Amino acid sequence: MQPIEGSTLIFSDAIQVVRFIEVRGGAGNFSLILEIEQSGKKSKAIYYPERGVCLTLDVRIPKPYEVRHKIAYAEFCQMLGWDIAVPTVPFSLDADDHGALSPFFDGVEVKHHYFYESLRPNLTWFQIAVLDYLAGLVDRTSNDILFLPDAGVKVTDNGLSFVQGTDFSVQISVIRRALRGMALPVEILQIVEGINLQMLEQLAQYLYKPREAIEAVLRRKQKLLEQGVVL
């Protein structure tokens, strides 16, 4: 596993679970808040076990792929050189367990959905809108957007992603809805133009129907470049 640098933690294989803190979730799924130690430093993390997905929230993403797509989304974000997705890596508590691990951020703030109705565009919001579209993410609510104490912004709950189609239906997308039709900065379009099949094939191990999912990303890339606006 390649290390992925987050705001408070670098994930690698050398992670030790110190203790379980709490279980979070409901009837649909659950996750575990852990205290972990790495290189002598203790911090909090959130673990999403595949067995914790109890209900399929979108029939296009059957369980346990919601967990695996969290990893794919984070890696795709890293490939683009953007620092907007909460880092998420494969992790197992034991030999019979599989899941995904992310840093747990204390002191975060989420904004009410009214905040996004008068959203002023900036590079971060454009990046989120473009990544959500390219990755086929079908559910971006205000609760998924974390405002960190250091003034950074991260998106989380990225598992309902990599659906097929260029005009896929969305349950809600507060960022894309607020910015739809706005012209994209040249620097973002240049990064989008660099997306290729070889890059996306690195995500295949995490994707449901990987060939179809990757082809859909490439079609959305082409449409985004042709129109040059938030879709």
Mean pLDDT (10-residue bins), the chain, 231 residues: 39 78 86 91 94 87 94 97 95 88 94 93 98 96 95 95 86 92 98 98 97 97 97 95
pLDDT the model gives residue 97 = 86
- Collapsed DSSP state (helix, strand, coil) of residue 2: coil
Instruction: Give the model confidence (pLDDT) of 103-155 as tens digits.
Output: 999 999 999 989 999 999 999 999 999 999 999 999 999 999 999 998 899 99
> 118 to each of 114, 151, 177, how far by Cα in Å?
8, 19, 11
Q: What is the pLDDT of residue 122?
A: 97
Q: Which residue has the tokens 């809600």?
A: 172
Assess contact for 126 and 181: CB atoms under 8 A.
no
> Would you state the pLDDT for residue 13?
56
Count of C-beta atoms within a 10 Å radius of residue 153: 16
- What is the pLDDT, as a whole number, of residue 5? 39
Query: Quick one: pLDDT at residue 93?
Result: 86
Tell how far CA 207 is from the center of its chain: 13
Task: Yes or no: say if 140 and 172 are a contact pair by the CB < 8 Å rule.
Answer: yes
